[in-house]
Structures are given as structure tokens and as C-alpha cells.
Chain A
Amino acid sequence: MLINTVLMFLRELLPLCLLLATLLVWHRSVWRSFALYFAFPSLLMLSLISLQMVWISEQLDGLGLELLYSFLYLSCFVLLCLSALKAQWALLSSAFAAACLFSISGSNLLLYIWLPGQAENTPADLVLGSALGVGIGASIAVLWYYLLTELKQWRIQSFALLLSLSGARQVMMTSALLIQSDWLVAGPQLWQTEQLLSEQSELGFFLQALMGYEATPSLSQVLLYVLCFTVLFWCCSLMEKKR
């Protein structure tokens, strides 16, 4: 129970922590406004999704939740592109992008925390597991923040590259959800790197959270990933040129 809780929290929070750290490096000087713009829509969307989760999940032949999550992941990517393209909207749209990801992770975690019987049976494990999960996630985010700050000073393109990878990860998640809902054709599996780098390994887990690492990607996933990575990287390059 304890290990399961730690893993659940890490799995949900690590991608969010990494994205938040990346965006905080970007909006370092206005981090208070960023936090404010992030907090309000996050809480609003989280409350709406959590309160209506049963209704949402029953929509569209039981695919409502997947389609909503894929929409939120895709919105996160689009908002990141928008923030790179339009300097005057950068703060607001990147905060909204992080809020989209928060609402997905938050609703999954709330569902796990409030599993019937969970809190009554093993409250200590739940509290300790959540604290450990949040702590590990936050620690990685802090390290990531300082690493990115250094990288940004050394070579600005490296920041654009990592932000683009993070954005493309959200599209990878969208495509996975759409494929399992049969809304997107997967195409043939392109490669199999499970033996080389398992998604369950520490590095695989980290790369999944950072850039959407997939050991067995399909053709449509790779095509979408490459396309969206290129678009976001191009948007980031334009942003640098404007400066």
C-alpha cells in the first residue's frame, strides 16, 4: 500500500512538476503572477472534473473521461505553442497549460485517495505514501529547475528543446488515449525497446514524465510526436528571434 501510494503520486505528479519547473524558469521574474494564474483555473477545473467524474465517464459510450483527458493534454500543447508565439499571452497561456495537466493529475489522485475503504484501512500508509510521493516529485522538480536555469544561461536552444519535448509529451499522451478509444488509428508498431529501456525502470519512468518515452510506439504516435515537437520548437525559435 505504501509503495503503491508513492508510485501513484509520483506517476501523476512528476510530469506536472517537471512542466511547472520548466515554466518557472521561463517566467522566473513574474513567478507570483504565474502562480496566481495557475492556481485559479487549476482548482476550478479540478473541482469540475472531480464532481462530475461519474457523469463524464459515462458519456460517449464510456469514453468520456479519455476524450476529456486527451482534449486537456492537447490544450496543454496548444497553449504552450501559443505562449511561445505571442509574448503578451505567454504568462497566461503557459499557466493555463500547466493547469490543464494539473486537472488531470489532480482528479486521478483524488480518485485514488478517496477509494472506498482506502483511508479507513491504512490511513498512515496513505499519508506517508503521499508525503513521500510529493517530496520526491518536488525534489526532482527543484533539481530540474536549477539544471534548466544553468542550461538556459549556457545555451538558450537547450531550453527550447526541453520545453518542446515536454510539450510533445502531452501529444504523446493524447495519441495513446485516442488510440485506446479507437478515435485514432495506431498503425504498425515501429520499434520495441522494452528490453533496452523498460518504461517501468527509473530512467524509463523519468523519460516518460519528461518527454513521453514509449517503449512500443505506433506509427501515428511517432508521426504526431515529431510533428508537434517540430512545431513547438519552431515557435520557441521564433520567440527567441523576436527577442
Chain B
Amino acid sequence: MKNIELKKRQLRKNSKKALPITALLLLTLPVVAEQSVFELRIKDHLFLPSVLYVPAGEKVKLLVLNQDPSPEEFESFSLNREKVILGKGKATLFVGPLQPGKYEFFGEYNPDSAQGVLIALPEAEWLQHKANHAY
């Protein structure tokens, strides 16, 4: 009887210790929620569209299609992202959840021409933007 009590106490102690470890592990698990996908093209060393609107406060998936034969590197200091996209290739990268605001990005191999800005809109403005651009 005593043994069972002792084991239970030990288990309780261990579970308290395990809590922060579990929290850390959960933090590293990949997110399975559905994400919005936004397409960005690179053509003639230009980003198209050069201004990309995304919703603030949620993670979004950027699909970058390089239509040039040469590779390009998507770089953004404010978004903290960099990714090489090979010639005629495509790449996926995830950004956010972002605070509302402007986030500049550029092509590292052609920084003079390949420039763009990602604008994260608050929910109300994003819904308005979506309504205005619904085809």
C-alpha cells in the first residue's frame, strides 16, 4: 500500500517536471492549420506583384515562381527570410503571423531591380481589400 502511495507521489513529481519539457516539445511541433497561399512571380528580375497584401495576425504561405532562367534569392530583413529560387523553379516559404505594417523584400542577386513590399493588413482592412479585389 505504501509502495503504491510512494509511486503515485513520484509520478506526480515527475509530471510537474515534465510540464515545461512538454510545453517546449509542443512549441516545436509543425502547425497543421490551413494557411492562405499567396503567389509571387519573378520575371525579368522584377517581383510581380511588387506590392503584395496579406492578412496580419496569421501565418501565410508564399509561393514564389521564378520565370527567369537565372536563379534569384528572395531576401527580407524585416521578415527575417531568405530563400534561393533556381531558374524556372518555384519555392515555398512561410511568413507570419505578422503585425500590421510594411515589410520590404528584394532579390539578393539583382537588388536594384527586384524589389517589393509585403503589406500586412489588419482584419477589417483585409476583408475590405478582399472584397474590392474579388473577381
Task: Give the CA-CA distance A144 to B64 in the complex, in Å.
Answer: 39
Task: Give the CA-CA distance A108 to B72 in the complex, in Å.
Answer: 11
Q: Encode contact with A along B44-62: 1 for CB under 8 Å, 0 otherwise.
A: 0000000000000001010
> B10 — which chain A residues lie within 8 A by C-beta?
none
Task: Give the CA-CA distance A20 to B98 in the complex, in Å.
Answer: 37
Are B28 and A117 in contact, CB atoms less than 8 angstroms apart? no
Least Cβ–Cβ distance between B120 and chain A, in angstroms? 13
| CB of B38 within 8 Å of the partner chain | no
Least Cβ–Cβ distance between B68 and chain A, in angstroms? 9
Select one of B24, B59, B81, B86 contacting A57, CB under 8 A.
B86
Are B108 and A220 in contact, CB atoms less than 8 angstroms apart? no
| CB of A223 within 8 Å of the partner chain | yes
| CB of A63 within 8 Å of the partner chain | yes
- Contacts of A175-203 to chain B: CB distance below 8 A: 176, 179-185, 187, 194, 198-200
By secondary structure, the A interface counts as helix
| CB of B36 within 8 Å of the partner chain | no
> B95 — which chain A residues lie within 8 A by C-beta?
180
Select one of B30, B70, B81, B86 contacting A117, CB under 8 A.
B70
Select one of A58, A116, A183 contacting B70, CB under 8 A.
A116
Are A57 and B84 in contact, CB atoms less than 8 angstroms apart? yes
Task: Give the CA-CA distance A216 to B103 in the complex, in Å.
Answer: 13
Chain A residues with a Cβ closer than 8 Å to the other chain, count: 37
Least Cβ–Cβ distance between B76 and chain A, in angstroms? 10
Are A185 and B87 in contact, CB atoms less than 8 angstroms apart? no
- Contacts of B1-54 to chain A: CB distance below 8 A: 24, 27-31
Are A180 and B84 in contact, CB atoms less than 8 angstroms apart? no
> A65 — which chain B residues lie within 8 A by C-beta?
84
| CB of B127 within 8 Å of the partner chain | no
> B77 — which chain A residues lie within 8 A by C-beta?
194, 198-200, 215
Q: Encode contact with B along A113-125: 1 for CB under 8 Å, 0 otherwise.
A: 0011110000000
Q: Encode contact with B along A1-15: 1 for CB under 8 Å, 0 otherwise.
A: 000100010000000
Interface residues of A, Cβ cutoff 8 Å to B: 4, 8, 53-54, 57-58, 61-63, 65-66, 108, 111-112, 115-118, 176, 179-185, 187, 194, 198-200, 214-216, 219-220, 223
